[in-house]
């Protein structure tokens, strides 16, 4: 039997039974455990012991993920910058917070986050979703959700019959706290699993017809030593920043790709732009300048623009960037030759591709698209589902 068809049926069944599970959970003191819809052969994510998964908590987290009232001024939700149709990223170079502040980074796609060993673009010590969520919620430089200073107002918005019922089902009481909000959203984010692309059916399920000949040629290029792509985007999640129940070692997932090496007269030096120098801003180690985490390539065709600052617009441009071994900017604010940065990864050495090979590589990257993930109603705005059912 096709294991992916079985997994798909399981997901559909979960959606149909979700309401029944939620009602049953509300009637019992012990929450119904959440079962990850993971195809056979893939490892399970690690879930923290102090925040176990339950059907009711996941559903509460989904509602909170799409709740604009969770921002200080009531204008944005987590989903504002993490949109399902874009792989839970957004089609902007950098995110804009609820008060209009421009973030200095591109919104990371929330794809298989439950498997991530590290979180955010450049923090090597941030391993816990619950801790990471505090940054967009309460951070002030830049302001994202903008809760700081508006905590009471946000809590007032959440204290209503709808959420009290959901908190009761998820936590056993109607008490609403930011700690519980964070726990609920974290459990929902952990359910955002994408393992049902054409590549998965080809590589893990043995479906020889899942990929075209062009995509297979692109796959061979991707995993070749000639291009080196797999060194930074390896494993089943296409990123080194991966951990799970069977992971024996943790590989270093941060790399300088040669994006910048700009003149900075004020500091009498060359390097990455001062407003975001990568991992060095956390570690203060000069060898960490320009190091950013290699993100997953799953659903990459839907998560443009690319790089930590969204400065590369298309997959075509990304391939050109790596083919050149980094980026040379002849003018502009950040002019300079990133190819010469002393911290540049040894795997970013440049290569030559014919137009046919380039098209094949892009076709392979497109085969990492999981259409079911991008349209799964279990991940979508619950208010939309309610409105559709009412009509």
Q: Please, which pLDDT band fits residue 232 given cuts at 50, 70 and 90?
A: very high
State mean pLDDT over 123-136.
Answer: 96
Check whether 331 has a pLDDT greater than 70. yes
CATH number for the segment(s) 3-195+371-390: 1.10.760.10
| Alpha-helical runs (H) found in the chain | 3-26, 55-65, 78-81, 129-138, 151-158, 161-171, 178-190, 198-203, 213-222, 229-232, 280-283, 315-323, 355-366, 371-375, 382-390
Count Cβ atoms below 10 Å from residue 346 Cβ, excluding itself.
Answer: 8
Check whether 7 has a pLDDT greater than 80. no
Per-residue pLDDT of 281-299, as tens digits, reads 999 999 999 999 999 999 9
Per-residue pLDDT of 27-52, as tens digits, reads 445 789 999 989 988 999 999 999 99
Per-residue pLDDT of 38-95, as tens digits, reads 998 899 999 999 999 999 999 999 999 999 999 999 999 999 999 999 999 999 999 9
DSSP output for 196-265: -SHHHHHHTT--TTSS-HHHHHHHHHHTSTTT-HHHHS-TTTTSS-B--TT-------EE--S---EEEG
| Pick from 130-134, 192-196, 205-209, 261-265: least confident | 261-265
Q: What pLDDT does residue 201 have?
A: 97
Domain residue extents for the chain = 3-195+371-390, 228-350
Whose CA is closest to 166, among 181, 146, 145, 182?
181
3-195+371-390 matches 228-350 in fold = yes
CATH number for the segment(s) 228-350: 1.10.760.10
How distant is the alpha carbon of residue 218 from its chain centre?
24
């Amino acid at each position: 039997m096709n294991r992916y068809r079985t997994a798909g049926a399981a997901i559909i069944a979960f959606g149909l039974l979700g309401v029944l599970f939620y009602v049953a959970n509300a009637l019992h003191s012990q929450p119904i455990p959440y079962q990850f819809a993971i195809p056979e052969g893939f490892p399970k994510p690690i879930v923290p012991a102090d925040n176990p998964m339950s059907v009711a908590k996941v559903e509460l987290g989904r509602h909170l993920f799409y709740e604009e009232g969770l921002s200080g001024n009531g204008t944005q939700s987590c989903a504002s910058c993490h949109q399902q149709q874009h792989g839970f990223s957004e089609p902007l170079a950098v995110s804009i917070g609820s008060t209009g502040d421009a973030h200095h980074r591109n919104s990371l796609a929330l794809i298989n986050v439950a498997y991530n060993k590290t979180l955010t673009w450049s923090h090597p010590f941030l391993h816990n979703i619950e801790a990471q969520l505090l940054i967009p919620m309460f951070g002030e430089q830049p302001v994202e959700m903008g809760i700081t200073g508006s905590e009471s107002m946000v809590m007032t918005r959440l204290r209503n019959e709808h959420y009290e019922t959901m908190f009761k089902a998820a936590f056993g009481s109607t008490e609403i706290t930011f700690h519980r909000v964070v726990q609920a959203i974290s459990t929902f984010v952990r359910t955002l699993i994408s393992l049902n692309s054409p590549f998965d059916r080809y590589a893990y399920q043995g479906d020889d017809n899942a990929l075209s000949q062009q995509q297979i040629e692109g796959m061979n290029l991707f995993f070749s030593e000639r291009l080196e792509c797999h060194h930074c985007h390896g494993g089943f999640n296409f990123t080194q920043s991966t951990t799970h129940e069977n992971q024996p070692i943790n590989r270093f997932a941060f790399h300088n790709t040669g994006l910048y090496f700009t003149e900075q007269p004020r500091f009498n030096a060359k390097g990455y732009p001062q407003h975001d120098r990568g991992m060095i801003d956390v570690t203060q180690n000069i060898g960490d300048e320009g190091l950013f985490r290699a993100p997953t390539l799953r659903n990459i065709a839907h998560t443009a623009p690319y790089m930590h600052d969204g400065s590369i617009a298309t997959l075509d441009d990304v391939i050109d960037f790596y083919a050149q071994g980094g980026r040379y900017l002849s003018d502009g604010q950040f002019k300079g030759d990133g190819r010469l940065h002393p911290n540049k990864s040894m795997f970013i050495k440049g290569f030559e591709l014919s137009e046919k090979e380039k098209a094949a590589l892009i076709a392979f990257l497109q085969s990492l698209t999981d259409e079911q993930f991008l349209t799964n109603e279990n991940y979508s705005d619950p208010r939309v589902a309610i409105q559709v059912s009412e009509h």
